[in-house]
Chains A and B, each alone.
Chain A
Amino acid sequence: MLAAARCVVYRDLLLALRRRSDVATALLFFVIVASLFPLGIGAEPNLLRAIAPGVIWVAALLSSMLSLGRLFAADYDDGTLEQMLLGAAPLGVVAAAKAFAHWLVAGLPLVAIAPLIALQYDLAAQLYGVLALSLLLGTPVLSLIGAIGAALTLGLRGGGVLLSLLVLPLYVPVLIMGAGAVEMAAAGLGGGGQLLLLGAMLVIAAAFAPWAISAALRISLE
C-alpha cells in the first residue's frame, strides 16, 4: 500500500522534473500577481504592510489552483487513471499520494519564496516565520480540496472555469485563517489560534479528502 503511494509520488515528481516549465509557470505566476499590487497601489508603506498577508495568500490560492487542472487530466487522457483504479492499492491511497505530490510541486515552493515577496511589502522580519508557517499548514489543504474539484470536473468541457468556481469558495476558510494568523501576529496578538485552526483543517482534510477524491474519480471514470 505504502509502496504504491511512494511509487505515485515518485512518478509525479519525475514527471514534474521532466516538465520543469509547468512548475516554474505556477511559481512565476505567484511572484507576478503578488508583485502587481505594490505597483498598482503605490508605495505607501503602511498600506502595503496592512494588505500584505491577504495579497500574498490570495496569490498563493490562485497559483495553487493554476496547476490543479492538470492534476488528473493527463492521467485521464492517457489511461493511467484507469490503471490506478485497477491498482492493487486502495484508490484513496493513490489519491492522497497525488495530492501530496501536487503540494510538493505547487505548494512547497510558495512557502519558500513567500518571505521574498513579503520583502516587497515591507513586512516586519519577525512575521516571516508566521507567514511561512501559515502557508506550510494551509497549502496542503488547498491541494487536498482542489484535488476533489479536479476529480469532479474531470473530462468536462470548460472544466477549468468550473473548477475555479467550485474550488475557490471552499478555499475561503483557509484564506481567512492563513491571512488572519499573519495579521494577528502583526498586531502583536500572536497568530497561534489561527495557526492551530489551520492545523485542524489540515488534519480533517487529510482524513476525508482522499475518500472524497476517490469517490469523485470513480464517478468521473464510469
Chain B
Amino acid sequence: MLEASNLECERGGRRLFRSLSLVLKPGEILRIAGANGSGKTSLLRILCGLAPPSAGEVRWQGTPIRSLKEEYARQLVYLGHAPAVKGDLTAAENLAVACRLAGLPAGESAVRAALERFGLSANGTPVRKLSQGQRRRAALARLELSEAVPLWLLDEPFSALDAQGVELLDGLFQQHLARGGAIVFTTHQDPGFSATHVVELG
C-alpha cells in the first residue's frame, strides 16, 4: 500500500540518505533504525507528506501522495517527535480534539475507554501536571481510536514509556497488523520484537 522509490533527503547542505526505496504491504511493520541525526524523523516526515523529498517519490496505493493531499492524510496517523498535546487541556480534551481534527469519531465514552486502557483517568487534570511518560501515553491513546486508519507512522513511540506501556503498545501493534494495517516506526534501540522490514540509516 505504501511505496517509496529513490528517496533522497538533504538537510542543511548535508545529504542524510539517497536512493532509498521501500515497499510496505498490509499487515507489515517497518522499523527505521539509526543513530541520532541519521534522518529517521526526516524520513518519517517525508513518508507522511509533511516535507517533500529532495528527489524521489512516495506513493499510496500507486498514486503519488503529492496529488492526494487530504485524501492521503485521512489514511494515516502520524505521531511525531513532539507529543502534540496541549498542557492546558485535560487528556480527554486533547484526545477528543485530535480525533476530530483527524476526522475520526470521538464519543465521550470512547475517549474515556481509550484513556483508561492507557492507564490515564479522564478527570480534570491538565496534561502539564502529568509526567513525561503519562504525556506520551495521552498522545498514544489516539492509536486506540485509530483502528480504521490503515497507516500508522510513529516517531519514537517507545520513548519515555515504562515496561507496561511498551507491552500495551506492542499489543496494539499486533492488533493493527492482524487487521491488515501497516506501521512504520522509528527507534534507536532494539524494540524486542521483529519487524517485517528494517531500514538502517546512517
Q: Which residues of A line the B interface, CB within 8 A?
A: 3-4, 7-8, 11, 14-15, 18-19, 74, 77-80, 82-90, 94, 221-222
B110 at the interface (CB under 8 A from A): no
On whether the beta carbons of B70 and A90 are closer than 8 Å, the reply is: yes
Extra A-B contacts (17), CB below 8 Å, given A82-B80, A89-B70: A7-B97, A7-B100, A7-B101, A11-B86, A11-B89, A11-B97, A14-B93, A15-B88, A80-B84, A83-B78, A83-B84, A85-B50, A86-B102, A87-B70, A87-B101, A88-B74, A89-B103
The one of A77, A83, A90, A222 in contact with B101, judged by C-beta atoms closer than 8 angstroms, is A83
A-B contact count (CB 8 A): 78
Q: List 14 A-B contacts (CB under 8 A).
A: A18-B89, A78-B83, A78-B84, A78-B85, A78-B87, A82-B78, A83-B101, A85-B73, A86-B73, A87-B73, A88-B73, A88-B103, A221-B51, A222-B52
Chain A residue with the shortest CB-CB distance to B82: A79
CA distance A78 to B138 in the complex (A): 13
A30 to chain B, nearest CB (A): 24
A contact residues around B100 at 8 Å (CB): 3-4, 7
Chain A residue with the shortest CB-CB distance to B127: A78
B160 at the interface (CB under 8 A from A): no
CA distance A221 to B42 in the complex (A): 12
Chain B interfacial residues counted at CB < 8 A: 28
Chain B residue with the shortest CB-CB distance to A16: B88
CA distance A82 to B84 in the complex (A): 8
CA distance A116 to B83 in the complex (A): 44
On whether the beta carbons of B102 and A87 are closer than 8 Å, the reply is: yes
Chain B residue with the shortest CB-CB distance to A91: B70
A24 to chain B, nearest CB (A): 16
On whether the beta carbons of B103 and A4 are closer than 8 Å, the reply is: yes
The one of A77, A86, A88 in contact with B82, judged by C-beta atoms closer than 8 angstroms, is A77
B contact residues around A94 at 8 Å (CB): 101
Q: Are A80 and B86 CB-contacts (below 8 A) given A4-B103, A88-B101, A89-B103?
A: yes
CA distance A94 to B97 in the complex (A): 13
A contact residues around B126 at 8 Å (CB): 18
B25 to chain A, nearest CB (A): 22
On whether the beta carbons of B83 and A221 are closer than 8 Å, the reply is: no
CA distance A78 to B74 in the complex (A): 21
